[in-house]
Every structure is written in structure tokens, then in C-alpha cells.
Amino acid sequence: MSDGTERRAGSGEADRPERGPGTTAVWAGDGTCAHEGATVPPVFHGVTFAHDDLDEWRAVAEGRRRGHIYSRNTNPTVEAFEEKARALEDAPAATSFSTGMAAVSNTLSSLLSPGDRVVSVRDSYGGTNRIFEEFLPAWDVEVELCDTTDHAALEAAIGEGCDVLYLESPTNPTLKVVDLARLSAAAREVGATVVVDNTFATPLNQRPLELGADLVLHSATKFLGGHSDALGGVLCGPEEPVRDAFHVREINGAALDAGSASRLLRGMKTLQLRVERQNGTALRLARWLEGRPEVAEVFYPGLPSHRGHEIARRQMSGYGGVLSFELEGGMEAVRGFLAELRLAHRAASLGSVSTLVGPPATTSHVELSAEERAEAGIPEGLIRYSVGIEDPEDLVADLEQGLEAV
Ligand SMILES: *Cc1c(COP(=O)(O)O)cnc(C)c1O
């Protein structure tokens, strides 16, 4: 677990919080496991760490002294990743997980006891939704899922008593926007802990802690890593709840692997470059798609036509790299269109350097029946498009030839 102390102790950065996020993405954390003058954090593949002095070993084991014992608990490369993520969210502490879902499940485990009540939105990530619908009720935790954009209903549900308010914004796949400041204020009144999944936005575009959330988590597999070559998750927030989640994780065993941490660290160095590019390309494509006759509707928070645009304008500094659009002609048109694309992997996931595309019917919402998808406001002709860092005009041309073919 990184509590930010290494920033002062090891990296030679001292306390200079005024740096920009691009500089933070490059420099933060790398010095926490500096070795032999290496300018890149070494990959500590070792599972176990030796201590010849028994008193020192004990001090490390009891947490009185910095050091490592066993990589399920802590690992130097993993700690460097935690420190970079912590600095990007400007949080007091951070801890990591093997995947984004491990971040979600271990965080919820650390916060909830039988008899507690969770309020959340219907459009949370598919795996998170399974935890709400399948796992938590079996543990005697009550879950109330509200219409994602009905803020009055969410406030009413929070007002009825709530231990954890769990939010996501923008959401999958129609990029609905949730007012994080407004709902965090409602949660504060009833003493609930507010957890925000900031995966879609990234710390560059949205700062949930500044908007009133208590904890912010990421699937680092997506934009943070940015290359679709490492799974990981991270939780950032105040020291005490982060330590509690770390404790659940070290016992449950969902530790991030040092090799993955190393790839995530490398990816994060270019976070600002990638996110700025993806913000710009996504907005450009969304505007372009809006003008096409083959497209029934475009969902992107940066478009004034989007239902959540006003809130997004207030709480986001960029609108992100994911958009979705509905083709006239439903699933048949989707099938033809997807087959024509040359510059997009027809694959799950998002936030990569290469463009990823897919219909929710086979990716994020595959568990739902066609009727359930319709009920959730997901048209059968919908396509989720996660823009990569390719030249924007090439992506426009690729979409154009795809649309013309259907
Ligand atoms: C992908 C994703 C997750 C889960 O992350 P994994 O790394 O795949 O376990 C959680 N939340 C959101 C918003 C995601 O996009």
C-alpha cells in the first residue's frame, strides 16, 4: 500500500504538488524502488524478501518499518504503480489489485457488513452489476439500483439510509453522466461512504475526490495502462479506508503481479498524451457521426445534444475516449458495418492505443436478453467505439467507408 510517504522518502520529489498531471504521470512513483541508478522501475519478480536481522524482519512484518516480506502483501514494483496512481488522483493513499473487478469487490468487502445498504445506478459496469444483483444479496446486503440519470430518485434512495453510495460516470455503453458533487453531498448527510469508479473518465478528465467522493477506483486495464497488455486495479483515497481494502486484498489474495505493474507504469507515463488525443478524436468523431444519415443517435458527453452534457461540462475537463452510436437498421446493419472496419479491433475492453469496437449485445451486456437490453435503453443497433491514438482523419475515413457499405 502506498500512503504517499515514499514520495518524500525515496523519489527525491519532495512536496511539490503544483506539478501538472503530465509531469506527474511521467515522474511520480518511479523513485520508490530505485535501484543501481535505473531510470525505470525495476521489475521485482521475487515472491519473497530476505531479512537477516530478526528484529528488522519483525519490524517490517508488524508494519513499523518500511520493507517487504512477501509479494502477496507488498512488492516494490507494485508499490511504484500505487504511488503513480495515488499521485494522479492526488489522494492521500492508494492500494492495488490484480484486476479492476478485484478493486471493486475487495473495496466493497472492506466497507460492507450484513444488514448494510448500498445505493447505486442501474448502468454500472457489468461485473459490478453482478456483484450487486447476485453476490451482495446473498451476504444480506441490501442493494437499491436507481435509474442512472434520475438524480431525485437517487437522492430519495440515499435519504432512506445508505452505507455505501457506489457511482460510475460516464457509464457503459450510452455514456450517461451522474452528478458526482450533488450525490456525494446527499450521501454525506446520511454518513454514507461514496465510491466512484473513474475508469471511463481517467484522473485527467475527472477528479471525484475533489467533487466530494471518499474513494475512487479504476480498472487500470483500460486507460491507465492504455495498451491492453496488463490487467490491474487501483483504489485511491484516505489512508484508513485504503488500508482496510488493502487488508482484505492481502488476505483474499488478489495481488497485482510485478510484471503487470511494470507494464502499467510504462503505459501511465503517456497517459496525458493519450487521453488528450483520445478526447479530441472522440469529440471530432462524435460530431461527424451526428451528421451522417446512417446514424440514428450518437452518445457522447461532449455533444450538446447529449442528456448529460451540462453536468459533464461542470465536472469533467475532457469528455473521454469512448463514444457509442446507433445505426439505422439494427443488428443487421451492425453486422455489415463492423465487418467493413479496417482500423478497429472487434474486441471487448476500452482505453487502448488501438481503436476497439463492439456491440454491447456481445460485450458489456452479453448477459442480458434482447428485452432486458431494450429495457435498459440499449438499442440493438448500438455500437461502442473506444478511440485509439490513430490519426483522427484515418478513423473518420474508416468509419465513412464502413457506413457507405451498409
Ligand atoms: C473494465 C472495467 C471494470 C473491470 O475491470 P477489469 O480490469 O476488467 O477487472 C470495472 N469498471 C469499469 C468501468 C470497467 O470499464
Domain borders along the chain are 100-220, 271-405
Ligand 1 pocket, CB under 6 A: 99-101, 104, 125, 127, 168, 197, 199-200, 219, 221-222, 231, 233
Q: DSSP per residue over 125-169, as a string?
A: -HHHHHIIIIIHHHTT-EEEEEPTT-HHHHHHHHHT--SEEEEES
Q: Are strands 345-346 and 356-358 parallel, antiparallel or unpaired?
A: parallel
For domain 271-405, give its CATH number from 3.30.565.10, 3.30.379.10, 3.60.20.10, 3.90.1150.10. Answer: 3.90.1150.10
Cα separation, 104 vs 106, in Å, equals 6
Q: DSSP class of residue 31?
A: G
100-220 adopts what CATH topology? Aspartate Aminotransferase; domain 2 (3.40.640)
The pLDDT score that the predictor gives to residue 5 is 61
Q: How many CA atoms lie within 13 A of 40 on its CB side?
A: 10
Residue nearest to atom 2 of ligand 1 (CA): 219
Which pLDDT score is estimated for 31?
92
- Cβ neighbors of 228 (< 8 A, separation 6 or more) are 221, 349, 352, 353, 354, 356
**Ligand 1 center from residue 99 Cα (angstroms):** 8
Over the chain (406 residues), the average pLDDT of each successive run of 10 is 58 61 96 92 97 96 94 98 98 98 98 98 94 97 97 98 98 96 98 98 98 98 98 98 98 98 98 98 98 97 97 98 95 94 96 95 72 80 96 98 94
Q: From the CA of 100, how far away is ligand 1's center (Å)?
A: 5
pLDDT given for residue 1 in this prediction: 79
The strand pairing partners of 143, in sequence order, are: 118
String of DSSP letters for 296-323:
EEEE-TTSTTSTTHHHHHHH-SS--SEE
Q: Are the C-beta atoms of 61 and 69 separated by less than 8 Å?
A: yes
Cβ(201)–Cβ(180) below 8 Å:
no
What pLDDT does 12 receive?
A: 44
- The answer to whether residues 344 and 390 touch, using CB atoms and an 8 Å cutoff, is no
